[in-house]
């Protein structure tokens, strides 16, 4: 895996032969990308000089595509780690990312939402105090 993530144009990434076809609702991820930027790099494999195969990060890749379609040209490039897996390991890496990941249970989700709104309220209060 590349030590330092690299920005790669979306047009150079082949994401056609993916196991996961339905990426569900990408609007929250798009909103997060617009607010915070890309937090986690995707993983790609170099298949030619300027051509890559998407290994992991299909939702992030798809969200970038949607943002570009909506006119956010700054999302034409995506941050990626360039990996060098064996041919037989490519699908395993994709599956590993999707099958091992577990959604938060309802308590974790509720606590996360609570902390999120407390932070938003706290930050809004600071902005209000600074303004006056």
Per-range mean pLDDT, top range of 4-8, 21-25, 63-67, 91-95: 63-67
Residue 80 pLDDT? 95
Residue 63 CB neighbour total at 10 angstroms: 24
Q: Does the model's pTM come out above 0.85?
A: no
pLDDT at 81 over 70: yes
Q: Encoding tokens for residue 111?
A: 């606590």
Residue 70 pLDDT? 95
Average per-residue pLDDT in the chain?
82
Question: pLDDT tens digits, residue range 25-77?
Answer: 899 999 999 999 999 999 999 999 899 999 888 899 999 999 999 999 999 99
Q: In a 3-state reduction of DSSP, which class is residue 72?
A: coil
Task: Tell the burial category of 41 from Cβ atoms under 10 Å away from its Cβ (0-12, 13-18, 19+).
Answer: buried
pLDDT at 103 over 70: no
Q: Which residues pair with 81 in a beta bridge?
A: 43
Q: In a 3-state reduction of DSSP, which class is residue 42?
A: strand
């Amino acid at each position: 895996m590349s030590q330092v993530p690299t920005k790669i144009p979306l047009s150079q990434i082949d994401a056609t032969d993916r196991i996961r076809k339905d990426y569900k609702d990408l609007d929250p991820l798009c909103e997060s990308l617009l607010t915070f930027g890309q937090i986690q790099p995707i993983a790609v494999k170099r298949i030619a000089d300027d051509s890559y195969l998407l290994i992991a990060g299909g939702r992030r890749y798809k969200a970038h595509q949607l943002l570009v379609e909506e006119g956010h040209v700054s999302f034409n490039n995506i941050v990626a780690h360039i990996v060098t897996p064996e041919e037989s390991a490519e699908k395993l890496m994709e599956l590993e990312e999707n099958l091992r990941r577990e959604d938060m249970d309802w308590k974790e989700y509720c606590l996360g939402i609570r902390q999120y709104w407390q932070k938003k309220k706290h930050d809004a209060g600071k902005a209000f105090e600074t303004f006056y």
